[in-house]
């Protein structure tokens, strides 16, 4: 069972987000970066599969040298080897193409991505990798069972769930549910020590012309002060929701 887990390097969920004064990009000053939370579920799932089926877990990131601590953390959690494809991940399709190239040059049974990265919220890369490779794909994947090379996946769909069957290799866009929150692994001392000697390989990126470009970033408009309502007077709330907010 050779699994590739794609890891996105993102600002911590508690980070205050600011942009550079020219508005072109994230101001990373003081921002702590972490493994994308969706990818943590995927990495833990890969560890569970390795524990029952054996094999190797490779973690991969498309990014600059600053993402290596995040890959080391994934190694400390239990991945066997890491790959960094050296490129600035500015556009989903160029990221997907680079990951596709890596997959084509290696052999994986399963490619686990997170449903989305919490930085650019694209929810694009996993489906693009699958489409480029013509592999089966389950998005919003909340369950994965393997029986030989047959995979049963469970996905969230609008208003419910769907169950699919596919033959490996396949790609999933995972989230909480493929493993539970309480099962998430965190690095321990031994993991951190051994991660130092695990291989982290740097691969050259194939440069493509990015079809999308961030022109600028703004912060959302802050709300005006909250209007407090007496708990004994919920009629007032209903009136305001109807007349002022026009929400009911």
- 198 is written with which tokens? 């695990």
Q: Write the interaction track for ligand FAD spanning residues 226-245; mark x where CB under 6 A is met and - where it is not.
A: --------------------
- How many chain residues touch another protein (CB under 8 A)? 82
Q: Is 90 in the site for another protein (CB under 8 A)?
A: no
The entry of ligand FAD, another protein, none that residue 137 binds, CB within 5 to 8 Å by partner kind: another protein
Beta bridge partners of 2: 56
**Which residue of this chain has its Cβ atom nearest to ligand FAD in the complex?**
13
**In angstroms, rounded to a whole number, what is the distance separating the alpha carbons of residues 77 and 82?**
12
Overall residue count recorded for the chain in this entry:
248
Q: Beta strand 170-174 with 137-147: parallel, antiparallel or unpaired?
A: parallel
Is 162 near another protein (CB under 8 A)? yes
93 binds, among ligand FAD, another protein, none (CB under 5 to 8 A by kind): another protein
The residues near 222 (Cβ < 8 Å, ≥ 6 apart) are: none
Helix or strand run (H / E) with residue 141: strand 137-147
Q: Which 172-201 residues touch another protein, going by CB under 8 A?
A: 175-177, 180-182
> Six-digit token pair at 66?
């600053």
**Interacting residues with ligand FAD between 10 and 69 (CB under 6 A):** 13, 37
Site string (40-69) toward another protein, x via CB under 8 A: ------------------------------
Nearest to 143 by CA among 156, 130, 132, 134: 156
**Contact positions vs ligand FAD (CB under 6 A):** 13, 37
């Amino acid at each position: 069972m050779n699994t590739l887990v794609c890891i996105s390097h993102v600002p911590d969920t508690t980070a205050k987000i600011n942009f550079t004064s020219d508005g072109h990009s994230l101001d990373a000053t003081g921002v702590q970066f972490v493994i994308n939370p969706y990818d943590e579920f995927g990495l833990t799932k890969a560890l569970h599969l390795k524990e029952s089926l054996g094999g190797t877990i490779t973690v991969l990131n498309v990014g600059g040298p600053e993402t290596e601590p995040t890959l080391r953390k994934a190694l400390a959690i239990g991945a066997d080897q890491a790959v960094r494809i050296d490129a600035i991940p500015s556009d989903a399709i160029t990221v997907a193409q680079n990951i596709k190239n890596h997959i084509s040059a290696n052999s994986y049974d399963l490619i686990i991505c997170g449903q989305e990265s919490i930085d650019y919220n694209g929810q694009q890369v996993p489906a693009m990798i699958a489409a480029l490779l013509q592999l089966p794909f389950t998005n919003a994947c909340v369950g994965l069972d393997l029986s030989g090379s047959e995979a049963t996946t469970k996905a969230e769909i609008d208003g419910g769930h769907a169950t699919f069957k596919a033959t490996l290799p396949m790609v999933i866009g995972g989230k909480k549910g493929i493993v539970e929150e309480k099962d998430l692994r965190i690095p321990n001392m031994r993991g951190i020590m051994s991660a130092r000697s695990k291989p982290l390989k740097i691969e050259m990126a194939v440069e493509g012309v990015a079809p999308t470009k961030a022109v600028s970033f703004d912060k959302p408009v802050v709300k005006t002060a909250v209007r407090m309502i007496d708990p004994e007077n919920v009629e007032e709330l209903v009136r305001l929701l109807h007349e002022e907010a026009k929400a009911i």
